[in-house]
Amino acid sequence: MIESGTGKNKSNNVMRMENGVYNARDIAAIAGAVDAVCDELGIERTDMVGRERVASRMMRSWAAGRRTPLGLVQAGLDGTA
């Protein structure tokens, strides 16, 4: 199944995106880190552009093998200085 307008394929709790394949646990880990970094930076839940920017950096980090909570947070903060 493809979510309309997202470019994401969902099947059997696995999400395939341009940067790789993520299961529900992966998505939960990334989402938690996105929420934490966005809260720290003052990015509102309604600011989809800002949240996407943070999430994109984290997903690249995840794809590169840096998957610890600290690694994800660092990736999310990169480029904000």
Report the C-alpha gap between 3 and 65 in whole angstroms: 26
Q: Which residues of 59-68 are buried (b: 16+ CB within 10 A; e: fewer)?
A: bebbeeeebe
45 in a structural domain? yes
Report the C-alpha gap between 76 and 11 in whole angstroms: 27
Give the model confidence (pLDDT) of 27-49 as tens digits: 999 999 999 999 999 999 999 99
CB 14 within 8 A of CB 21: yes
73 in a structural domain? yes
32 in a structural domain? yes
Number of domains forming the structure of the chain? 1
4 in a structural domain? no
Domain of 70 in residue numbering reads as: 9-77
2 in a structural domain? no
Rounded alpha-carbon distances, angstroms, from residue 1 to 6, 16, 41, 58: 12, 11, 34, 24
Tokens of 28: 């939960």
What's the predicted TM-score (pTM) here?
A: 0.72
Q: Would you state the pLDDT for residue 2?
A: 30
